[in-house]
């Protein structure tokens, strides 16, 4: 007798459903999409056996000992139609498509293990103790569900789409899993003594590591758990409520800050708000409504930050807003323009170049920050009248390295360290209107504390402008003029 046929007939005889039989025959994704055709092509069932009402009734006769009814095709078909009609799904307008997250009880692994021991003994020429005997339950289910969702929703499977969450539970799971502690008590003794172990009885990873035919005693297992497994009281899996999670969208752009009394992000100290509004909140309020989320859900990142009293001019500072559970995944041109106009109406902040970007693009914001150059313009004041010699000393064309001990003003939130930073160039100009003032243009490595570069922070930064010109000097106003980051792409609207 053909080996495939022998395996199929045996598994059917112990109440494995047709889908689980195909799993143990290592069926392909395409075969799971059309079970009848796959069985007929493999010569496992005749066409008349798999068609019509008789086939449907045959499927429902007994609950499968392997999947506990998970592969009831009528139940699976109902998932696709329910998703399409679900009010929560209909609120998403995502062109990318969908993806699935299916939660299954660990007891299915236990039942797979029992069948594994069984087929090892009955078909040793086909199955081995070191290789899983089947296609994983979740993989087979996804092949079927994804195909049906694509047909029902007329949208493709995509990792950037709306996640369809499908949970399954089993009423007798704890009772069945309790046997594991008798089969391999050492595993659970170690888990209980390990403070890092999760509170659950056993995790999926722990099961796959400790409960395989090569890891446990087969004779002991057979004494404590039925081989092949059986369906007690015809209790199968129960499907929970469907839920949905929108994609995480990333919006990039550049912002200008024109106010000297506005923080970049909400400024809180000991739970108390220190300042009304922020750059982040001004931008988020304009962007969040289009994506159907609260502005408080948005996560703001930028290429560095400026102090409250520092303006950010020029082309602006690159930033990204991360938008979880977005209800839309597109940003039409007219909507982007409206967002930019709304932010501009604040008179304190402006944004440009708003666009969708990919997660992998965030490396521009979050990586290699120290390699970037920043361009500043500082209005400095001295205790003595500015001289030509001072101006000459502060015209430096060659890069130099300074050491900055964490400034006193940020020591409460920054680690105490000495940081080397490179200043690439300095150019000073005396002010005609004020003999005690000069304008200084500075190009420095990202992460340089410019205020401390000027006044030395009581000698904690050196060399400083104070040490270079030999007299006291401080900053009256500071502007960020440019950031050496050619990202995101410029869009001239």
Residues designated catalytic: 307
3-state SS track over the chain? CCHHHHHHHHHHHCCCCHHHHHHHCCCCHHHHHCHHHHHHHCCCCCHHHHCHHHHHHHHCCCCCCCCCCCCCHHHHHHHHHHHHHCHHHHCCECCCCEEEEEECCCHHHHHHHHHHHHHHHHCCCCCCCCCCCCCCHHHHHHHHHHHHHHHHHCCCECCCCEEEEEEEECCCHHHHHCHHHHHCHHHHHHHHHCCCCCCCCCCHHHHHHHCCCCCCCHHHHHHHCCCCCCCHHHCCCEECCCEEECCCEEEEEEEEECCCCCECCCCEECCEECCCCEHHHHHHHHHHHHHCCCHHHCEEEECCCCCCCEEEEEEEEEEEEEECCCCECCCCHHHHHHHHHHHHCCCCEEEEEEEEECHHHHHHHHCCHHHCEEEEEEEEEECCCCCHHHHHHCCECCCEEEEEECCHHHCCCCCCCEEEEEEEEEEEEECCCCCCEEEEEEEEECCCCHHHHHHCCCCCEECCHHHHHCCCEEEEEEEEEEECCCCCCCCCC
d(CA 23, CA 223): 26
To which residue do tokens 């009010």 refer? 87
**Count of alpha carbons within 13 angstroms of residue 96, beta-carbon side:** 20
Q: Hey, how many other C-beta atoms are within 10 angstroms of the C-beta on 101?
A: 13
Residue 351, strand partner residues = 255
Extract the tokens encoding 112.
């797979």
In angstroms, how far is CA 326 from the centroid of its own chain? 13
């Amino acid at each position: 007798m053909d080996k495939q046929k022998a395996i199929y007939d045996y598994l059917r005889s112990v109440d494995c459903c047709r889908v689980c039989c195909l799993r143990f025959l290592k069926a392909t994704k395409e075969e799971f999409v059309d079970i009848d055709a796959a069985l007929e092509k493999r010569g496992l069932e005749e066409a008349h056996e798999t068609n019509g009402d008789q086939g449907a009734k045959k499927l429902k006769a007994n609950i499968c000992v392997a999947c506990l009814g998970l592969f009831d095709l009528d139940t699976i078909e109902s998932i696709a139609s329910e998703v399409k009609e679900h009010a929560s799904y209909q609120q998403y307008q995502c062109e990318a498509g969908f993806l699935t997250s299916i939660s299954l009880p660990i007891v299915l692994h236990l039942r797979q293990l029992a069948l594994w021991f069984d087929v090892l003994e009955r078909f040793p020429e086909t199955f081995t103790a070191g290789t899983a005997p089947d296609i994983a339950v979740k993989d087979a289910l996804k092949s079927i569900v994804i195909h049906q969702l694509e047909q029902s929703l007329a949208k493709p499977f995509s990792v950037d789409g709306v996640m369809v969450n499908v949970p399954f539970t089993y009423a007798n799971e704890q009772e069945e899993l309790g046997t594991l502690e008798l089969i391999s008590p050492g595993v659970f003794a170690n888990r209980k003594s390990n403070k890092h172990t999760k509170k659950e009885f056993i995790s999926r990873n722990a099961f796959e590591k400790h409960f395989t035919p090569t890891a446990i005693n087969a004779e002991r297992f057979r004494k404590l758990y039925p081989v092949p497994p059986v369906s007690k009281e015809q209790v199968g899996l129960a499907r929970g409520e469907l839920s949905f999670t929108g994609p995480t969208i990333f919006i990039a752009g550049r912002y200008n800050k024109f106010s000297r009394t506005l923080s970049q992000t909400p400024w809180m100290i000991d739970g108390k708000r220190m300042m009304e509004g922020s750059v982040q909140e001004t931008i988020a309020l304009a962007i969040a409504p289009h994506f159907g989320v609260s502005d408080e859900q948005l996560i703001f990142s930028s290429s560095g930050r400026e102090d409250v009293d520092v303006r950010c001019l020029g082309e602006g500072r690159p930033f990204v807003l991360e938008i979880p559970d977005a209800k839309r995944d597109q940003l039409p041109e007219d909507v982007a323009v409206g967002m930019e106009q709304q932010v501009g109406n604040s008179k304190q902040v402006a944004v440009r170049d708003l666009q969708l970007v990919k997660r992998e693009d965030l490396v521009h914001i979050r990586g290699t920050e120290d390699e970037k150059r920043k361009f500043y313009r500082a209005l400095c004041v001295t205790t003595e009248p500015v001289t030509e010699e001072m101006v000459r000393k502060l015209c430096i064309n060659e890069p130099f390295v300074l050491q900055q001990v964490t400034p006193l003003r940020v020591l409460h939130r920054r680690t105490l360290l000495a940081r080397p930073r490179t200043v690439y160039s300095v150019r000073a100009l005396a002010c005609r209107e004020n003999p005690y003032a000069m304008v200084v243009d500075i190009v420095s490595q990202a992460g340089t504390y410019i205020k401390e570069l000027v006044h030395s922070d009581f000698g904690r930064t050196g060399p400083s402008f104070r040490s270079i010109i030999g007299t006291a000097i401080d900053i009256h106003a500071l502007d960020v003029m440019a950031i050496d980051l050619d990202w995101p792409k410029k869009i001239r609207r």
